[in-house]
Homo-oligomer: A and B are copies of this chain.
Amino acid sequence: MKPTKYDALKLENQLCFPLYAAAKEVVRRYKPFLDPLGLTYTQYITMMVMWEHKELTVSQIGEYVHLDTGTLTPMLKKMESNGLIFRQRGRKDERETIVSITPEGKALRKQAIEVPAKISSCVNLTLDEALQLKSLLEKIII
């Protein structure tokens, strides 16, 4: 094939497209394992943070999961109505909303424990490749 000045604009020559496609693909592969837990992928990563920290402000959650309040507020309300967390205004600083994990939220951890192993077995990478990939991705995120 004759190279042209437009080669850089071909989908197959992009780095970012495989990244975009792989991310969506992985979220899709989580779905069958998360559906039984009643979690979406975004709710799942939020629960991971809550399992570790028990109590965080909205913006602290946002820093961990890289999401802003426009995404988090409606999702946290949903998770609250599903009984996983509860939200209350900060006593000391009434600007912030403190998100805390409920007993039901805590209990879900036991079921979620199976998920990571199930996922790694359906992502076709060796442990070595996975570590390599992770380190390359972290260079992008900074």
Contacts and interface: CB of A to CB of B under 8 A. Distances in A.
A134 B10 contact: no
Contacts of A26: 16, 19-20, 140
A139 B26 CA distance: 12
A9 B113 CA distance: 7
Q: Is the interface of A mostly helix, strand, loop or mixed?
A: helix
B125 A139 contact: yes
Given A8-B116, A20-B23, A24-B66, 11 more contacts: A6-B51, A8-B117, A9-B116, A11-B65, A14-B45, A15-B123, A21-B141, A22-B140, A23-B24, A25-B66, A125-B136
30 contacts: A8-B117, A9-B48, A9-B51, A9-B109, A9-B112, A9-B115, A11-B52, A11-B64, A11-B65, A14-B48, A15-B120, A15-B125, A15-B134, A16-B26, A18-B137, A19-B19, A19-B133, A19-B137, A20-B45, A21-B66, A21-B137, A23-B23, A23-B24, A24-B66, A25-B140, A26-B140, A123-B140, A125-B140, A133-B133, A133-B137
